[in-house]
Amino acid sequence: MLHQIDEIQGIGLHLDLVLRKIQDAYLRRFEALGVDMTIEQWVILHQVYELGEDASQRDIVQSNFRNRATISRVIGGLERKGWLKKTRFTGDQKRFKLELTQKGREIIDSVLPHAHQLRMLAIKNLRSSEFETFLTVLDTIGNNYT
């Protein structure tokens, strides 16, 4: 199979097709829930939820593969929706503190169980060892490009 890499139009095409299917599944679920949200907004909202009281814009920028301007734009959109509040940390006026609002918590409470279901769908019919191999292969391919 490895010798067929050129015949199958490269691995990037396959990765992109799978990623698009995953993103479409999330967007359809958001729509079914009546939540007007993009994938990027969900990722950042969930990261703020996971980081809790220590969530900063700097942390979000460093943990994503997006530039600072894109992250700032997405955070601005979350603020306009009333899901996120951006303030400064006490004693550190250089960093922006990100906090979920009540509406943001409600969105998390609504979407998180569905996001978990979608993550479980991804590994349906896979043995644990197959998934571990998959992650190892993805890491190896990614490391080949660094």
Q: Give the tens place of pLDDT for each residue, 48-101.
A: 999 998 898 988 888 877 788 999 999 999 999 999 999 988 887 788 899 999
Q: Which CATH architecture has domain 2-144?
A: Orthogonal Bundle (1.10)
The pLDDT assigned to 6 comes to 61
Q: Let me know if 107 is exposed, middle or buried by CB neighbors in 10 A (0-12, 13-18, 19+).
A: buried
Lowest pLDDT segment from 1-5, 21-25, 65-69: 1-5
The Cα–Cα gap between 62 and 57 comes to 9
The DSSP H or E segment spanning 95 is strand 92-100
In the chain, which ranges are continuous DSSP H helix? 11-33, 39-51, 57-63, 68-80, 102-122, 128-144
Nearest Cα neighbor of 44 from 83, 88, 80 is: 83
